[in-house]
C-alpha cells in the first residue's frame, strides 16, 4: 500500500505556481525643484573704471605705491566692484524668476 501511494504521488501532475499581476499606477508627488534664473544683463557689464598705475616707492609722487590720482582711481574701482557685488547679492536674494 505504501508503494502504491508513492507511485501515485510521483505520477501526479504538478500545479504551476499562481501568476501574480501587479498594477502600478503613477502617483504624483509635488517636490520643489530649483530652477536656474538668468541674471539681468547689467550685472554682466564690463567695468569701465580706469585702472591705477603703481609707481616705485621712491618716486616723488608716490603715496602707498600710488600717486594721488592712482589712489583716486583705485578707490573708484573698488567702489564700482563693491556696487557690483551688492547688485549681485540683491539679485540673488530677490524672488523674481
**pLDDT tens track of the chain, all 97 residues?**
666 655 565 666 777 888 998 888 988 989 988 888 888 888 888 877 787 877 787 877 777 777 888 888 888 999 999 999 999 999 888 876 5
The answer to whether residue 2 sits within a structural domain is: no
Taking the model in full, what pTM does it have?
Answer: 0.51
The answer to whether residue 85 sits within a structural domain is: yes
What domain range is 82 assigned to?
59-97
What is the number of residues in the chain?
97
Structural domain total, the chain: 1
Q: State the sign of the Cα–Cα–Cα–Cα dihedral 51, 64, 61, 57.
A: negative
Amino acid at each position: 500500500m505504501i508503494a502504491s501511494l508513492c507511485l501515485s504521488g510521483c505520477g501526479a501532475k504538478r500545479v504551476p505556481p499562481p501568476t501574480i499581476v501587479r498594477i502600478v499606477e503613477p502617483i504624483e508627488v509635488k517636490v520643489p525643484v530649483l530652477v536656474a534664473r538668468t541674471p539681468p544683463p547689467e550685472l554682466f557689464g564690463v567695468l569701465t573704471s580706469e585702472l591705477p598705475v603703481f609707481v616705485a616707492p621712491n618716486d616723488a609722487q608716490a603715496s602707498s605705491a600710488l600717486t594721488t590720482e592712482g589712489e583716486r582711481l583705485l578707490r573708484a574701482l573698488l567702489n564700482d566692484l563693491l556696487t557690483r557685488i551688492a547688485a549681485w547679492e540683491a539679485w540673488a536674494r530677490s524672488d523674481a524668476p
